[in-house]
Amino acid sequence: MIGSLVNVFKIPDLRRKILFTILIIAVYRTGMFLPIPGTHPEYLETLVAEEQAGGADGGFGVGGYLSFIARITGGSFGPFLFSLGIMPYISASIILQLLTQAVPALEKLAKEGESGRRKINEYTRYLTVLLCLIQGYFIAKVGPYGPGEGAGWRGADISPVMYYLACIAAMMAGTIFLMWLGELVDEYGIGNGISLIIMAGIVDRLPAVAQYLSQNATLEFLSFQAGERIGIETVFLVTVMFVGVIIGVVLITQAQRRIPIQQAKHTRGRRTYGGQRQYLPLRVNQAGVIPVIFASSLLYLPMYLFGALVRAVPSDPESSWSWLWPVVQEMHSAFTYGHVMHILAYVTMIFLFCYFWTAIQFQPREIANNLRDWGNFVPGMRPGRRTADYLERVMNRITYVGAAFLSAVAILPIVVSKVTDVSMLMTGFLGGTGLLIIVSVALDIVQRIESHLIMRHYEGFLAEGRVRGRR
């Protein structure tokens, strides 16, 4: 392993890529601490104190829920330059990808090659700007940490309108800048630039987790519900969760269902060509982490909606609408972060988005037609429709396993935090979706570096060869 790391820096091209990537990440992390002009200094101190305390609402209210979303998207939801992170660009890319399957004009444009891809990227940037305007206004207007109407964000000598405009412009510029940094990493660095930016934002929580653990952990045996103190049994449980999630992520990320593909034989003159057997690899976790991010974002809507209704519906018994207030209050409590109803809705949406996203990405009829045109076939299956139905049936089965794994990873920190009374700051980082993203991106970077090493006749990181998919 040490020899492989030394070999990495012996290759000039690879060394330049790695150093350039590190430089871009350093620029990104610097921007995360640049406040928006006009923000009151005392509010920044209050925000830092709340973050060190584990987030607002004890980790299970609106502030804690938005902090959780920030942890898995690399943002901060605070008055800083990169508050929105790269999420608007990711959302715009996903929306354009979905529209490409639904709008014939975009589908035709996507098939035009490089020129069509550039045009779609241009549309993606325009949509990113629009999403930045909407999300920036929402965060500036009802910032989760500011006391109503964003009052805590304003400087004393700045009017609210001017401060809102400054917030929106600064956060939009920050997201566009991050998008440009990600493209620079794709071109001159190593790994996927957007994924690296998200991972860097998640790893940023590691010092806060270490500080929380050092201040509250003890070697004594305590009951799980011991308040802020963390007993040795809780540390053991969280450690097992951490190791188990890493092992599970590696196995599921690399897991494949290999479909045998037989090449048809054909004779030319006295020679026979073809007849080789190959494999079509189908990933178990075809959708990646996208379903979890989508489900987390959409689940905020009922929480915010019912919270607004609780404030709007009068609770006075003499009012004609008083009968509605207990119903709205019960629904608001049901969708509170960590409630049983919230967890069930969370798991259901992850499954739905897994199948939906896989259906968008995986086209069995197109694959079956390509196999038929190339003279290949699945043994025991007739080319064409029968092969497409078989591939779709196999993908539906393995997608169920991937969706179940994503659901387990998503709800495990919530359950452990409820059982042990430990802050979501620690359980969410050491065993949740953030860890899933970190391990997935790290595997991708290792595979890319290993490809460079093997291409230049160096050994990879493993003695027996490359990092391979598990069957």
Nearest to 331 by CA among 348, 312, 311, 306: 306
Taking only the tens place, the pLDDT of each residue in 363-397 is 888 888 888 888 888 888 888 889 999 999 999 99
Q: What does the pLDDT average to over 240-247?
A: 85
Residue 398 has pLDDT above 50, yes or no: yes
Distance of CA 412 to the CA centre of its chain: 16
**Can you give the residue ranges of every domain in the chain?**
21-204, 223-299+335-471
Answer whether CATH 3.40.50.300 is correct for domain 223-299+335-471: no
Q: Provide the pLDDT for residue 394.
A: 92
CB contact at 8 A, 52 and 211: yes
Q: Provide the pLDDT for residue 177.
A: 92
Residue 54 has pLDDT above 70, yes or no: no
Q: How far apart are CA 445 and CA 457, in angstroms?
A: 19
Q: How far apart are CA 151 and CA 160, in angstroms?
A: 8
Q: How far apart are CA 323 and CA 330, in angstroms?
A: 12
Predicted confidence band of residue 105 (pLDDT cuts 50, 70, 90): confident
Taking only the tens place, the pLDDT of each residue in 272-317 is 666 677 888 888 888 887 888 778 777 777 777 777 777 777 666 6
Q: Where are the beta strands (DSSP E) in 270-386?
A: 271-273, 277-283, 376-377
Residue 44: CB atoms within 10 A of its CB come to 17
Half-sphere exposure of 198 (CA within 13 A, CB side): 27
Beta strand pairing call for 277-283 and 256-263: antiparallel
Q: Provide the pLDDT for residue 59.
A: 47
Q: Tell me, what amino acid is at 271?
A: R
Q: Provide the pLDDT for residue 324.
A: 75
Q: Provide the pLDDT for residue 56.
A: 43
Domain 21-204 shares a fold with domain 223-299+335-471: yes
Fold of 21-204: Preprotein translocase SecY subunit (1.10.3370)
Q: Where are the beta strands (DSSP E) in 80-166?
A: none
Name the least confident of 85-94, 201-210, 422-431: 422-431
Give the global pTM.
Answer: 0.76
Q: Provide the pLDDT for residue 184.
A: 92
Q: Provide the pLDDT for residue 152.
A: 45
Nearest to 378 by CA among 471, 469, 272, 386: 386
Q: How far apart are CA 466 and CA 273, in angstroms?
A: 30
Backbone angles phi, psi at 323, to 5 degrees: -65, -25
Q: Provide the pLDDT for residue 253.
A: 82
